[in-house]
Amino acid sequence: MTNHWVDIKNADVILVMGGNSAEAHPCGFKWVVEAKAHRKAKLIVVDPRFTRTASVADFYAPIRTGTDIAFLGGVIHYLLSNDKIQHDYVRNYTDMSFIVREDFAFNDGLYSGYDGSKHTYADKSTWNYEIGDDGYAKVDPTLQDPRCVYQLMKAHYARYTPEVVESICGTPKEKFLVVCETLASCSTPDRASTILYALGWTQHSVGAQMLRTGAMVQLLLGNIGVAGGGMNALRGHSNIQGLTDLGLLSNSLPGYMSLALDGEQDFDGYIKKRAPQPQRPNQLSYWKNYKAFFVSMMKSWWGDHASADNNWAYDYLPKYDKLYDVLYAMELMLEGKMNGYLAQGFNPLAAVANKGKNIRALAKLKWLVVMDPLATETSEFWKNYGEYNDVRSADIQTEVFRLPTTCFAEEFGSLVSSSRVLQWHWQGADGPGESRSDLEIMAEIFTRMRTLYQKDGGAYPDPIVNLTWPYANPLSPTPEELAMEYNGKALEDLTDPKDPSKVLVKAGTQLSAFAQLKDDGSTASGCWIFCGAWTPEGNQMGRRDNSDPTGIGQTLNWAWAWPANRRVLYNRASCDPSGKPFDARRALIAWNGKGWTGSDIPDYKADEPPENGMGPFIMNAEGVARFFARDGMAEGPFPEHYEPFETPLGYNPMHPHNPLATNNPAARIFPADKAGLGKSPDYPHTATTYRLTEHFHYWTKHARLNAIVQPEQFVEIGEDLAREVGVVAGDRVKVSSSRGHIVAVAVVTKRIKPLMIEGKKVQTVGIPLHWGFKGLTRPGYLANTLTPAVGDANTQTPEFKSFLVKVEKA
């Protein structure tokens, strides 16, 4: 979240799109209820289904799955053509006035630089601003230049008229316009809207661009960095925010640093690329500190083995050639190139797209380790469970090890919430039986591996035998030790640059803030954004003072938020260029003549006078927010609608004559998966998968009370589809995709209606995901029997939310 849970109460309009927060985040949803009750906030829900969130909304609009870019592109067109944008904000704080390179182009659904044979944008160099001789981006403050971002964006989205939106999304024009008008009411400085989203946006082949389109709407309305605004990703597992913060994705490092790419063997080049020079006068480009963050991390990992002489052990880090995401892992297993797999707190057979493929993949492994408190579908993938897991056990040679772990309530430590708040929690009970904590298991695996490398050597044992392992009991590191390590400490006395005789931080002392990190090896910090969580004053994550001096929910003494205990990111943008809050009733910070103060920690240089003109988006070298994604995105600088890989239309209404632009042109799909995609004549219905409040994924079916409230697998179909296939509520239906089928009870509902898409009736089928063949509920089919193995082009998150099926009476 750019903002935080409590801050939702400050919103005037709440758009829930691509999520169902009343159901999946029922505790946090209370802040939506507060905003409705106390601010008369309007709640709008846009979802293919009339959800539990929709049932308490002021307005609901239906949408076809996978078409949110067309919808939001239409909103952008509405805001620009009706001049419903916050002028002061967009002119000063975004790249609207920046001039784009002459050779940047968009034709037939494809941007410049596309290589059709590789299905990727091989050359993204044209996706950039014109950079002048002074190193600064060229701008036209009048916004008249036809190559400025404002003009290009306006032309790009002019194609998304309300009629086009209706035809692609199935959202009736009148309903679409109500959503536009309600959002547009927040283009004034005294009103703010927030967007709450989750998987309904991320789990698509164009997921990352859906979020970007939402962020563009928020920027046009001047709603980023202000109280009650923001782009708010409501996250999943209790610590999934912590997972990305700590860099557990295959291409990232802690604190959103990035692993080097294959070929980036030169250390200085690696740093230079990630620590860009400012591209506007007097700009702070905060990533200029990248080297300090990186070197401190390497010191934390390898201590004295990381020194200036060996580039801080840069060669110890792998350089990556591809994303090693879970879809790729399954592909490698099938190809016989991955022989072992460790599933820690993960049930991939249930959770990953295309179960049939995944069974064949797991069956090729030599060994599989499952670290889990429960016996899961994954740990028993080799066992025959009749129609629910119809395998021949005798043909499967994979050796499976189950290591029983404790569960979160049997441990203590920190969890990071969607609000970026690191909250310390305490153990409720000891784990049962032979269970051991994840920490102990990992520590023992590591120390045993290290012993083997010490004894036998190997191709490159250095990174393993030299790893720092400073814990009092090497077989059982404590959460306190780890938290202190992530925060970091001084390795030498840190002195005042103006007076070297003055020691500011003594060697061995915990650091207070990431501003103290150095690039010369004198500091260590395992994750720079967590620096400040365990200071010389102690554990900041355990703080429980909920006082809220300004009454807008800024409880700065409740636990600790990264970065720097800041609760609302980009909060400099909540003030006008002179440093005065756009809305005094919701002030986060203000310039008081000498410094920035207020109810939040300034996301800016604390004593920087506004008249110097530094931009508020200090993580971008140009100091402003980007409508034009000049780097980073896989499929282009402006989001464009592409159809889901399994489309009920078979073509892209925006580009009907270019088959290369039917689906995301930059998405990766393996040949066999592509050949196996379903087509609409055989699989005429559009399906989506989702959660229910009563279950948490695949594990609460092991708990008796949850099993009682939702005992049996069902699918939701509309009354019209039920009539078409000849079933009534309670009948069993067979739902098939090109990859397999499930059989479940039909819930026939008014909550899902057919949509008219390009003149054709399209039915939506809703498939809750919680059932399987282990646990106390009635055995059921894994929903991922049906889903395709294709992912978002940037993140490889599978397209769980939009695929084709056929519904029949069972």
Ligand X SMILES: Nc1nc2c(c(=O)[nH]1)N[C@H]1C(S)=C(S)[C@@H](COP(=O)(O)OP(=O)(O)OC[C@H]3O[C@@H](n4cnc5c(=O)[nH]c(N)nc54)[C@H](O)[C@@H]3O)O[C@H]1N2
Q: Please tell me whether residue 19 binds ligand X under the rule CB under 6 A.
A: yes
Residue 736 interacts with ligand X (CB under 6 A): yes or no: no
Angle at which helices 173-184 and 68-81 cross, to 10°: 60
**Complex with Mo ion: residue 214 or 236, whichever CB lies closer:** 236
Would you give the distance in Å from CA 246 to the centre of its chain?
Answer: 14
Task: Using CB under 6 A, pick the residue from 1, 63, 75, 524 that binds ligand X.
Answer: 63
- The C-alpha atoms of residue 523 and residue 515 are separated, in whole angstroms, by 11
* Binding flag, residue 371, ligand X (CB under 6 A): yes
Q: Which residues pair with 643 in a beta bridge?
A: 663
Nearest approach in angstroms of CB 153 to ligand X is 22
Binding mask 25-54 for ligand X (x = CB under 6 A): x--------------------xxxx-x---
Q: Smallest distance, Å, CB 408 to ligand X?
A: 5
Shortest separation between residue 200's beta carbon and ligand X, angstroms: 3
CB of 405 to ligand X, least distance (A): 4
Give yes or no for residue 200 binding Mo ion (CB under 5 A): no
Whichever of 124 and 701 has its CB closer to ligand X, that residue is: 701
Residue 50: contacted member of Mo ion, ligand X, none (CB under 5 to 8 Å, by partner type): none
d(CA 543, CA 496): 30
Q: Give the nearest distance from C-beta 199 to ligand X in angstroms.
A: 3
Binding residue for ligand X (CB under 6 A) from 169, 192, 216, 374? 374
Tokens 């190809």 correspond to 335
Is 207 an interacting residue with respect to Mo ion (CB under 5 A)?
no
What does the per-residue mask of binding to ligand X show for 453-492, with x meaning CB under 6 A? Answer: ----------------------------------------
Based on CB atoms, which residue is closest to ligand X, 423 or 784? 784
Is residue 236 a contact point for ligand X (CB under 6 A)? yes
Tell me how far CA of residue 802 lies from CA of 201, 764, 787, in angstroms. Answer: 11, 10, 8
Q: 132 with 635: CB under 8 angstroms?
A: no
* Candidates 459-467, 524-532, 535-543, 797-805; binding stretch for ligand X (CB under 6 A): 797-805
| Whether the Cβ atoms of residue 718 and residue 768 lie closer than 8 Å to each other | no
Binding range to Mo ion, per CB under 5 A, among 187-195, 220-228, 231-239, 500-508: 231-239
Integer angstrom CA distances of residue 275 from 138, 290, 292, 563, 761: 21, 6, 10, 18, 51
For ligand X, give the closer residue by CB, 617 or 699: 699
How many residues at the interface with Mo ion, by CB under 5 A? 1
Q: How far is the CB of 187 from ligand X (least distance, A)?
A: 22
> Judging by DSSP bridges, how do beta strands 803-809 and 589-591 pair with one another?
unpaired
Structure tokens at 184: 């547009």
Does position 65 interact with ligand X (CB under 6 A)? The reply is: yes
376 vs 523, beta carbon nearer ligand X: 376
- Number of residues interacting with ligand X: please give it, by CB under 6 A: 54
Please identify, among the stretches 79-87, 107-115, 367-375, 647-655, the one whose residues bind ligand X according to the rule CB under 6 A.
367-375
Rounded distance between C-alpha atoms, residue 613 and residue 629, angstroms: 23
Contact 442, 448 (CB under 8 A): no
Strand 764-768 and strand 685-690: the pairing is parallel
772 binding Mo ion? (CB under 5 A): no
Q: Which residue has the tokens 């889903």?
A: 787
Select 78 or 596, whichever has its Cβ closest to ligand X.
Answer: 78
Contact residue for ligand X among 145, 372, 716, 799 (CB under 6 A): 372
Minimal distance in Å, beta carbon 345 to Mo ion? 12
The count of other CB atoms within 10 Å of the CB of residue 556 is 18
Measured CA to CA, the distance from residue 55 to residue 750 in angstroms comes to 12
Contacts of 420 (CB under 8 A, 6+ apart): 1, 4, 241, 245, 561, 562, 563
Alpha-carbon span 371 to 403, nearest angstrom: 5
Q: How many CA atoms lie within 13 A of 473 on its CB side?
A: 9
Which residue's CB is nearer to ligand X, number 374 or number 494? 374
From candidates 62, 66, 602, 791, binder to ligand X by CB under 6 A: 66
Smaller CB separation from Mo ion, 98 or 690: 690
Closest separation between CB of residue 233 and Mo ion, Å?
A: 11
Enter the DSSP assignment of 773: S
CB under 5 A: which stretch of 233-241, 388-396, 586-594, 604-612 binds Mo ion? Answer: 233-241
347 binds ligand X (CB under 6 A): yes
Query: Which of ligand X, Mo ion, none does residue 777 bind to, with CB < 5 to 8 Å depending on kind?
Result: none
Per CB under 6 A, 663 contacts ligand X: no
Contact partner, 66, from ligand X, Mo ion, none, Cβ < 5-8 Å per class:
ligand X
342/379 Cα distance (integer angstroms): 11
Identify residues 674-703 at the interface with ligand X (CB under 6 A).
688-691, 693, 695-699
Q: What are phi and psi of 489, to 5 degrees?
A: -145, 170
Among residues 162, 345, 479, 711, which is the contact residue for ligand X, using CB under 6 A? 345
Torsion angle of the four alpha carbons 346, 351, 356, 360, in this order, in degrees rounded to the nearest 10 = -20
User: Cα dihedral angle (506, 510, 516, 522), rounded to 10 degrees?
Assistant: 60
Q: Is 237 in the site for ligand X (CB under 6 A)?
A: yes
Of the pair 209, 376, the CB lying nearest ligand X is at 376
236 scored as a contact of Mo ion (CB under 5 A)? yes
Which residues 133-192 are close enough to bind Mo ion by CB under 5 A?
none
Shortest Cβ 694–Mo ion spacing (Å)? 17
> The dihedral of CA 60, 64, 68, 71: what is its sign?
negative
Question: Which stretch in 236-244, 391-399, 478-486, 575-583 sits in contact with Mo ion by CB under 5 A?
Answer: 236-244
**Beta-carbon contacts of residue 133 (< 8 Å; ≥ 6 apart):** none
Q: Where are the beta strands (DSSP E) in 596-739?
A: 596-598, 685-690, 714-718, 732-737
> Which residues, 345 to 364, sit near Mo ion by CB under 5 A?
none
One DSSP character per residue, 541-561 reads GG-B----TTSSS--TTBSEE
DSSP-H helix ranges across 526-642: none
φ/ψ (deg, to 5) at 218: -65, -35
Residue length of the chain? 810
Closest by CA to 317, choosing from 250, 269, 255, 246, is 250
> Taking CB positions, which residue lies at the least distance from ligand X?
236
Beta-carbon count within 10 A of 133 CB = 5
| 242 binding ligand X? (CB under 6 A) | no
Backbone φ and ψ for 729, nearest 5 degrees, come out as -50, 135
3 state SS of 298: helix
Among residues 439 and 587, whose Cβ is nearest to ligand X? 439
Nearer to ligand X, 283 or 389 (CB): 389
20 part of the interface to ligand X, by CB under 6 A = yes
Contact between 801 and ligand X per CB under 6 A? yes
Residues at the site binding ligand X, with contacts judged by CB under 6 A: 17-21, 24-25, 46-49, 51, 63, 65-66, 68, 198-200, 203, 236-237, 344-347, 351, 371-374, 376, 405-408, 438, 688-691, 693, 695-699, 769, 783-784, 787, 800-802
Residues at the site binding Mo ion, with contacts judged by CB under 5 A: 236
